[in-house]
């Protein structure tokens, strides 16, 4: 687990050029880029760092700055950040992983208006408190508050096609054709437990036995 800046699976995309000019000019223009890492600042959405064809490395852009390089700008609508991301980063400390079970899988997610969108899974960000010596002021390890950021690319023919979204588990339904045969949104409840087996009143025998006994 790293602090603040994190490598990610590099992918080629296009950046809305106005984001490189504080949205003051070049509105509606585009430039190809390589998205190569993320920055996690608590209280902000994940931010993305890119390399441009002129050699510039531009840092800390929101996901709404980008769209798939398979499209031209005129074919992709502009979205507000709150449409594509539900939550800010839970911590400066994050783990980036491409879950093998989800790799290349398609999914559908629920937006803030309870509308379904279809997308492809790219990779995930998860958060934790890495050091007990650090004051923990985040919710990253509170069971009821846990949230992934799953990075998704909107499918062709979706009204948001070509855009990207960062969605938590409880807004996504993944599609694994050989397993996910139920097409419905479940009514699961949030897990409120804190799973641990070392908090009860028990101890081991006070000796050098390899197969020690348990005292309840």
Partnered with residue 109 across adjacent β-strands are: 117, 172
Residue 15 carries which DSSP code?
E
User: In the chain, what's the furthest Cα-to-Cα distance?
Assistant: 74
Q: Is the pTM of this model over 0.85?
A: yes
Domain extents in the chain: 2-215
Nearest in space to 12 (alpha carbons), one of 43, 38, 33, 27: 33
- pLDDT per residue, tens digit, the chain (216 aa), is 789 999 999 999 999 999 999 999 999 999 999 999 999 999 999 999 999 999 999 999 999 999 999 999 999 999 999 999 999 999 999 999 999 999 988 999 999 999 999 999 999 999 987 766 665 656 656 666 788 999 999 999 999 999 999 999 999 999 988 888 888 888 988 888 877 778 778 888 888 999 988 888
- Run of H or E residues at 83: helix 81-84
Q: In which region does residue 60 sit, left (phi positive, over 0), alpha (psi from -120 to 50) or beta (all else)? A: left
pLDDT score for 69: 98
Contacts for 53 with CB less than 8 Å, ≥ 6 apart: 31, 32, 33
């Amino acid at each position: 687990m790293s602090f603040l800046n994190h490598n990610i699976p590099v992918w080629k995309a296009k950046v809305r050029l106005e984001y490189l000019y504080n949205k003051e000019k070049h509105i509606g223009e585009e430039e190809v880029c390589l998205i190569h890492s993320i920055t996690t600042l608590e209280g902000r959405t994940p931010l993305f760092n890119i390399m441009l064809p002129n050699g510039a490395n531009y840092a800390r852009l929101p996901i709404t700055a980008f769209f798939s390089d398979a499209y031209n700008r005129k074919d992709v609508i502009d979205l507000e950040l709150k449409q594509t991301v539900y939550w800010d980063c839970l911590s400066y400390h994050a783990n980036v992983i491409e879950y093998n079970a989800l790799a290349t899988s398609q999914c559908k997610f629920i937006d803030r208006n309870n509308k379904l969108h279809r997308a492809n899974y790219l990779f995930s960000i998860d958060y934790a408190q890495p050091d007990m010596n650090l004051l923990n002021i985040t919710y990253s390890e509170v069971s009821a508050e846990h949230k992934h950021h799953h990075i998704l690319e909107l499918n062709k023919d979706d009204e948001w096609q070509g855009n990207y979204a960062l969605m938590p588990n409880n807004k996504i339904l993944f599609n694994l054709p050989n397993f996910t045969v139920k097409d419905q949104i479940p009514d699961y409840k949030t897990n409120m437990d804190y799973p641990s087996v070392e908090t009860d009143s028990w101890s081991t025998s006070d000796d050098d036995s390899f197969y020690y006994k348990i005292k309840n």
